[in-house]
Chain A
Amino acid sequence: MGSIATRRLAKELRELSLECPTGIKILSANDFHTWRLSIEVMGDSLYQGQVFALQFIFDAQYPIASPEVTFVSDEHYKAPIHPHVYSNGHICASILGTEWSPILSVAAVCVTMQSMLASCKKLERPPDNDRYVRHAPKSPKNTRFVYDDDTV
């Protein structure tokens, strides 16, 4: 773990412990490698009442390189049904790929996900969901997504 990454994550964790954005809670953050946060869409939306879990996996290059962010899909949490979220939890979002910027943070990603879910009009999986899930690499960062939807 690089010293920048460690310090940066320590600072983010301290800030999140003090004050989390509405609807976001830390589930587990026991090291500077894997964090889990719960995310709930506030207000009027298709996902009202549902709670999802986001998993962040950081590498030594954080925050220069983007973290690996997926929705948790296991016996407790299910990935939200969303045109940009595959059933295995992988997210097709530009800010997690080419559009990542070092100034973004865990809280910023969570808030972006909240807003992505809140703006969803229709509960459906991505069109190539089954094919992608079958061949998907373990980390979504190894996927070359094509970001074609500018509406979300």
Chain B
Amino acid sequence: MTSSSSSSFSLSYSYVEAVNPNLLCCICRTPFNVPATTKSCSHTFCWECICSAIAVLPQCPIDRSPLSLEDVSLASPIVRHMVSELPVYCTHRSLGCDHQCERQLLEHHLKDECLYEPLPCPERKCDQFIKRKDLKSHSHPDDHQSCTTCDLKFPDASHASGCPDAQVSCEHQPHGCRWTGRQADRPDHLERCPYEPLKEFFLMNSKRITALEAENQRLKDRLEELAFVFDRSRHDVHAMKYLLHPWFKLPANASHNPTTSSSTSSPTGTMPLNGTDFFPHSSSQPDEHDPFPEIFEGETQHTLFPPHRIPFQYPHLLPPDHTAPPTSISVAPLDLDGTLEHTFTSLRDSVVVLAKTVEHTGRRHDIALTTENVRVAEELAGVKAAVRGIRQQVHRIMMERVPGNEMGDKRMDPDMMVSGNPYLRSVLGSYPALTKSIPTTSVTKL
């Protein structure tokens, strides 16, 4: 209690505002510091003030009633808080600190924050107190000038550029001078040093080397950058080559370019499949890709059949005999020796030819069907006439067998007879429908 009070009491506060007189200790005339109240007469003082007053005279300074240290206790919390929260300026305001805070926080500010708080030398080398803001620039004279060679306690002006007795080497040592000696002798040596006249050259040389190194580094960086771009491009080329596999060819006039040929030679070896293995006859029959080159020579520009998008399929994934069906019709294999564009063009031509053929075949089928229909209709008419003859004959036979008086006035309708007879109905019933189903339109169309 007393120690903490004395430590904080050493602070001399500078209050921002005028303090309520009720909070002033009448002994020190300042706001209470660790307020203490007497039990007997309820007067409040600073703890230290009343303690020292009692030590001199054991009575209350205000009403002179007898008082001992036991009669003094800490003041009520409200009083303590009121004085603790009084706004104060930093103790180092005169030095430049503008900080202001509650009185109870000032100790923390000084301990941890205030840039103007004097602190002891961090290395304990001197007895100075240094402001916190100057701590970094604080140094000691002997930090720089202590001489390790000679016994000088306090290095003087002769040590400004080092101890004269110190063993040093020539400043041209990096260039090859092997001289070593006392620091004081170095100027003499420099006059005789063979490297001294070359000093300017060395300087220029080292500058050039530095510039070249910098440029080298720049070029290295650029090279790395380009290598990265190249790797990415090579990856793209691989992917393209994989897609284009059988048609991937170098332009004939690019073969003299060593860069291109060397870059493509190794990836080709890494390709998993070689398309020519599945098309062994492609090179032997290079000219049979179009079986009808002359037939539709003049009709290649066909607007009715726009270029079809051929679904992509890896040629080597197809069965080897897919392009050669067992029928006598033979389809030419893909030309893998030409360019991709050429292959696409020839495929499109084939499609055009196929479309023509399909249309042609369709027309022939139509004609054949119509001819067949006419023949069937004629035959049907003949059959109908025959059936009618048979019916009349059957009718007559039935009339002959049945007596005329038994029949009466009833006329026998042949259709009624047919419908009454289950057998006849099953044979002839669907006949009229047959005649109607013949498509006359197709006949007239011809």
Complex Cα–Cα for A11 and B56 (A): 23
Question: Is B27's CB under 8 angstroms from A11's CB?
Answer: no
Question: Is A8's CB under 8 angstroms from B28's CB?
Answer: yes
Complex Cα–Cα for A63 and B48 (A): 12
Complex Cα–Cα for A69 and B423 (A): 166
Interface magnitude class on chain A: 10 to 19
Question: Is A64's CB under 8 angstroms from B29's CB?
Answer: no
Question: Is B12's CB under 8 angstroms from A102's CB?
Answer: no
Residues of A within 8 A of B9 (CB): 3
Question: Is B62's CB under 8 angstroms from A64's CB?
Answer: no
Complex Cα–Cα for A63 and B62 (A): 13
Closest residue of A by beta carbon distance from B64: A101
Q: Does A29 contact B (CB under 8 A)?
A: no
Shortest Cβ distance from B57 into chain A, in angstroms? 8
Q: How many B residues touch A, CB cutoff 8 Å?
A: 18
Closest residue of B by beta carbon distance from A63: B27
Question: Is A103's CB under 8 angstroms from B26's CB?
Answer: yes
Q: Does A12 contact B (CB under 8 A)?
A: yes
Q: Does B30 contact A (CB under 8 A)?
A: yes
Question: Is B56's CB under 8 angstroms from A65's CB?
Answer: yes
Residues of B within 8 A of A8 (CB): 27-30
Question: Is A11's CB under 8 angstroms from B52's CB?
Answer: no
Q: Does B358 contact A (CB under 8 A)?
A: no
Question: Is A101's CB under 8 angstroms from B56's CB?
Answer: no
List 18 A-B residue pairs with CB atoms under 8 Å apart, sorted by A's residue number: A3-B12, A4-B28, A4-B48, A7-B12, A7-B29, A7-B30, A8-B27, A8-B28, A8-B29, A11-B29, A11-B30, A12-B29, A61-B52, A64-B56, A102-B61, A103-B61, A103-B62, A105-B29
Residues of B within 8 A of A3 (CB): 9-10, 12
Interface of B is mostly: loop
Question: Is A61's CB under 8 angstroms from B56's CB?
Answer: yes
Shortest Cβ distance from B19 into chain A, in angstroms? 11
The tally of CB-CB contacts under 8 A between chains A and B is 45
Question: Is A7's CB under 8 angstroms from B28's CB?
Answer: yes
Complex Cα–Cα for A61 and B49 (A): 11
Closest residue of A by beta carbon distance from B59: A101
Shortest Cβ distance from B326 into chain A, in angstroms? 122
Question: Is A102's CB under 8 angstroms from B30's CB?
Answer: no
Given A63-B27, A64-B52: A101 touches B10 (CB 8 Å cut-off): no
Residues of A within 8 A of B55 (CB): 64
Residues of A within 8 A of B424 (CB): none
Residues of B within 8 A of A101 (CB): 61-62, 64
Interface of A is mostly: loop
Q: Does B355 contact A (CB under 8 A)?
A: no
Given A7-B12, A61-B56, A65-B56: A103 touches B27 (CB 8 Å cut-off): yes
Q: Does B53 contact A (CB under 8 A)?
A: yes
Complex Cα–Cα for A8 and B30 (A): 8
Bitwise interface map of B from 34 to 60 toward A, beta carbon under 8 Å scored 1, else 0: 000000000000001100110111000
Residues of A within 8 A of B10 (CB): 3
Given A61-B52, A61-B56, 19 more pairs with CB closer than 8 A: A4-B27, A4-B28, A4-B48, A4-B49, A4-B52, A7-B12, A7-B28, A8-B27, A11-B30, A12-B29, A63-B27, A64-B49, A64-B53, A64-B55, A64-B56, A102-B49, A102-B53, A103-B26, A105-B29
Closest residue of B by beta carbon distance from A104: B61
Bitwise interface map of B from 1 to 44 toward A, beta carbon under 8 Å scored 1, else 0: 00000000110100000000000001111100000000000000
B9, B12, B61: most-surrounded residue (chain A CB, <10 A): B61
Complex Cα–Cα for A102 and B55 (A): 12
Complex Cα–Cα for A64 and B52 (A): 7
Closest residue of B by beta carbon distance from A9: B29
Residues of B within 8 A of A4 (CB): 27-28, 48-49, 52
Within 51-98 of A, Cβ neighbours of B (below 8 Å) are at: 61, 63-65
Complex Cα–Cα for A4 and B26 (A): 12
Closest residue of B by beta carbon distance from A105: B29
A4, A12, A61, A102: most-surrounded residue (chain B CB, <10 A): A102
Complex Cα–Cα for A2 and B28 (A): 11
Shortest Cβ distance from A133 into chain B, in angstroms? 29
Residues of B within 8 A of A103 (CB): 26-27, 61-62
Complex Cα–Cα for A4 and B48 (A): 10
Shortest Cβ distance from A40 into chain B, in angstroms? 26
